[in-house]
Amino acid sequence: MPINILMPALSPTMEEGKLAKWLVKEGDEVSSGAVLAEIETDKATMEVEAIDEGTVGKILVDEGAEGVKVNTPIAVLLEEGEDPSAISDSPAAAPPPASKSAAEAAKPEASSEPKANGTVPPAQAQQAAPQPEKRAASGTGERVFASPLARRLAKDNGLDLAQLTGSGPHGRIVKSDIETALETGAGKDAPGTAVATTGAAAAAAGPGLLQAMPDKQVLQLYEEGTYDVVPHDGMRKVIAQRLTQSKQTVPHFYLTLDCRLDELLRSRSRMNDVAPKEGPRAYKLSVNDFIIKALALALQDVPNANASWTDGGMLHHRHSDVGVAVAIEGGLFTPIIRHAEMKTLSEISNEMKDLAGRARNRRLAPHEYQGGTTSISNLGMFGIKEFDAVINPPHATILAVGAGIKQPVVTGDTVEVATVMSCTLSCDHRVVDGALGAELLNAFKSYIEDPVRMLV
């Protein structure tokens, strides 16, 4: 009996994802555990493995399709000796239900065939929603088969799908066909259509300036080349949602304190000089490694600050699981150093390098960036002196770290030059009061200014 390959849930909160790439094609023989496809979530790219051995009988979801619901069949695997004709009689052959975004994309297209009074018959609207692949060709009454991604790209670039030839299964138009059309200039709509389509897409892209402006002004701005419409990807949507929620629901307050780095920089230099340069014990410490360790130890010294707010009660964490913001194209990850207070500086350094490298390639597993007890956002390498960071719930704090800058410092009755780093602690006032936040920040400072204490 044919076996369904389902869209996996890569995290407990995942509801849908993007089928980024197929690594097999119909007719390929696969063994159990073989990688079939790559799935993109809002944060990471993960692999789908075959649950059994067999032959790929049918691919149900095109490469590049977005909004594919969890547990939706994406392909059919035939067991040994099974004929491909068995797929048509199997529930596995049923096409996956249209995602919310695909159904919404189909609604405006259904309205392109109105009655004389300008309304769409309910039966016609219902028929259009679950069949997003079908689209009425301009003025011909024919049906054009295209993937949701291809249809969106065609709409954004003003291409008429009826003028294109599909290279997908059964002549379906896919992403590569749109890219070819853009290179060759094929499928261009009548003059003015591309502007109108893109302007409409911009107006529907979400709340904001474009949506609030009259459509005529939107089109005029587009014609003048004032803006380009860049659709939001899953990561940017999640970042916007979580940070908006944080600022609306978490009462932030901020504490700033300067730390002298001179002793830390001297200690770091000596440690790196004697560090193994090759082999499994090799390491090279950065200032950020000291910051991670110092904050982890400070949370152990001030345990009441190592907590999270819930409506049912305060969660006091036994360990310091420190997240570190890593910038990537289009957003950021916050991989977590678990039990950071128990790890040596060299262990933290090597683990952070590994996590940051995989974060930039979107290869982190969900458990490597979810959870944690606090976060660090370091913009010192960009020359930023001081800034306020937004708390990442359920954390109660986040430390914003600025650049180490040489400046005059008064010590006793003398003025001397010192390297000073400004650190701002954002606190959730429901968990961390002002005095508690100040105690945590001063504990952090004591480790930064006397780094030998981190080695004990």
Q: Give the contacts of 96 (CB within 8 A, at least 6 positions apart).
A: 7, 60, 61, 68, 69, 72, 73, 74
Cα 259 to the center of its chain, rounded Å: 33
Rounded to whole angstroms, what are the CA distances from 360 to 11, 166, 236, 328, 374?
19, 34, 15, 5, 21
Please report, in angstroms and rounded to a whole number, the separation of the first and last CA atoms in the chain: 63
Beta strands 35-40 and 45-49 are antiparallel
Type of residue numbered 210: L
Smallest CA-to-CA distance from 290 within 324, 256, 243 is with 324
Beta bridge partners of 134: 145
Q: How far apart are CA 377 and CA 431, in angstroms?
A: 20
Active site amino acids: 429
For tokens 């094929």, the residue is: 186
Query: Residue 374: enclosing H or E segment and its boundaries?
Result: strand 374-378
**The pair of three-digit structure tokens given for residue 419, joined into one six-digit string:** 């390297």
